[in-house]
Amino acid sequence: MTKFHVIIPAAGSGSRMATVLPKQYLPLAGRPIVSWTLEPFLTCERIASVHLVLSADDAHWQAHATHHPKLSTLHCGGETRAETVLNALKVLNVEPSDWILVHDAARPGLTHQLLDYLLDEVEDDEVGGLLAIPLADTLKRADAKQRVASTEPREGLWQAQTPQMFRYGILKEALIKSGGAPTDEAQAVEALGLSPKLVTGQLRNLKITYPQDLALAEAIIAADHHEAKK
């Protein structure tokens, strides 16, 4: 039976947050961000295993460690996201046809419902797919002086999110051939001549990149708690 496995690359430093602590460990509603990120996967019965991929010199995880029978930590993070994911794939003991879901460590807004929706939409797909949102805003391309150089048509454009979900065999081949250059897994798979499926995500599934994103994530969690008490 085909299984679902999760890889969460967490070897980066999150320099755009301008904090000493890597952003996945920053506090969010009383818990580190990575704790919120892990939760929907650890509590989903359909997920067989979850692998948090850390840098070899990570000095923070032990202070925040989550203990769960599904969860393993791998200290094989690379210089890039693609290298980190590929290093993890090389040590996983899974079947080539098993599904691998790659999710950002600093994307704590994924819900159980959205995860199930992605699994349902992609599990029978020949290629795989990812959560994404159709772009609604007008796009401007900047010049070197940060002035508008042109307006870009937004028709057909989507903003990629995670999880991104592909068969183990396809994803490993794609990342090996990519040379570590792609910024996400879908781009590597696209280079094989394949077209991943776009599954409509939600704005709440944001990636925390800048300080203001943390405040927005706090507000989303507070709203969730308020709704749960009704």
Instruction: Give the 3-state secondary structure of residue 87.
Output: helix
Q: Is residue 60 part of a domain?
A: yes
Q: What is the pLDDT of residue 193?
A: 97
> pLDDT class for 180, splitting at 50, 70, 90?
low
**Residues of the domain holding 55:** 4-129+159-229
CB 106: neighbour CB atoms within 10 A? 27
Cβ-count burial 155-181 (b if 16+ within 10 Å, e if not): eeeeebbbbbbbbbebbbbbbeebebe
Average pLDDT, the chain: 93
CB-CB contact of 103 with 184 (8 Å): no
Can you name the residues that pair with 130 across neighbouring β-strands?
Answer: 164, 198
> pLDDT class for 181, splitting at 50, 70, 90?
confident
Domains in the chain: how many in total?
1
Q: Is residue 81 part of a domain?
A: yes
Q: Is residue 18 part of a domain?
A: yes
Q: Is residue 142 part of a domain?
A: no
Q: Is residue 42 part of a domain?
A: yes
CATH code assigned at 189: 3.90.550.10
Single pTM value for the model:
0.94
Segment 145-163 mean pLDDT: 95
Q: Is residue 72 part of a domain?
A: yes
